[in-house]
Amino acid sequence: MKQKSVRLFNNKFMESLTHVHPIIPLLFWSPVIIFLLWRAVAVHHLPVGQLVALILPALVIWTLMEYLLHRFLFHFPANSEASKWLVYLFHGVHHDVPADKTRLVMPPSGAIIVMAFIWLIFSAIIPAPWAEPFCAFFMAGYLIYDYIHYATHHFKMRHPILQALKHHHMRHHFSTKNAKYGVSSPLWDWVFGTLH
């Protein structure tokens, strides 16, 4: 039987940054999401209809980002020792110990870096008044993903859609590691031919 956790760093502080209670992303990112949406309404005076219209595109872009990161970064075929260690640090450890409750959601220490990079991209390609709410809904998609991922590893999924997502992700872990990269949606596995 696999152990409950794997130590990644000898340094206690660095090791602590790799563990997080599952409620932390919600507590950390929700105020950011609320702030960005408040700015969209109170500062930029965007109509509610325009905000609602951003929800679906932002969630679709999130699912694409989730798929691309999982497939090409987290399963990167590393050659050097340094790159192998980075891949293991970001995702390999999860495959070694998939039920580690403190490593099923991304710690803010890593997510801040990723989100800052994504914010630079969004703010460069999306006009100023809409970049902030788009990013807010994108972050909401990330939170949805995080909690679907956590639930697939720790809860019985009773709803048929949630059962299908759990089955999809468990097959990625235990039978088809080079397929089924979507966690919150199998859409992009279908589009890019990695469903089977």
* Angle at CA of residue 93, ends 176 and 31, nearest 5°: 105
Are the C-beta atoms of 140 and 57 separated by less than 8 Å? no
pLDDT at position 146: 94
pLDDT at position 91: 86
pLDDT at position 186: 94
- The answer to whether residue 192 sits within a structural domain is no
- The answer to whether residue 161 sits within a structural domain is no
Per the listing, tokens 């949606």 go with 185
Centroid of chain to Cα 53: 22
pLDDT at position 1: 40
Mean pLDDT (10-residue bins), the chain, 196 residues: 74 89 96 97 95 97 96 91 88 87 86 92 93 97 95 90 92 88 95 92
Are the C-beta atoms of 149 and 169 separated by less than 8 Å? yes
- The answer to whether residue 88 sits within a structural domain is yes
- The answer to whether residue 178 sits within a structural domain is no
In single-letter form, the type of residue at position 80 comes to S
Q: How many domains does the chain have?
A: 1
Helical H segments across 43-186, by residue range: 48-68, 81-87, 93-96, 108-125, 128-154, 160-174
- The answer to whether residue 49 sits within a structural domain is yes
- The answer to whether residue 126 sits within a structural domain is yes
Answer left, alpha or beta for residue 45, where phi above 0 means left and psi between -120 and 50 means alpha.
Answer: left
- The answer to whether residue 8 sits within a structural domain is no
- State the residue range of the domain holding 63: 22-94+104-152
Are the C-beta atoms of 32 and 139 separated by less than 8 Å? yes
- The answer to whether residue 175 sits within a structural domain is no
pLDDT at position 109: 83
Centroid of chain to Cα 188: 15
pLDDT at position 123: 94
If we measure between CA atoms, which residue out of 184, 165, 147 comes closest to residue 20? 147
pLDDT at position 29: 97
pLDDT at position 3: 52
Kindly report the pTM of this predicted structure: 0.91
In single-letter form, the type of residue at position 179 comes to A
pLDDT at position 80: 92
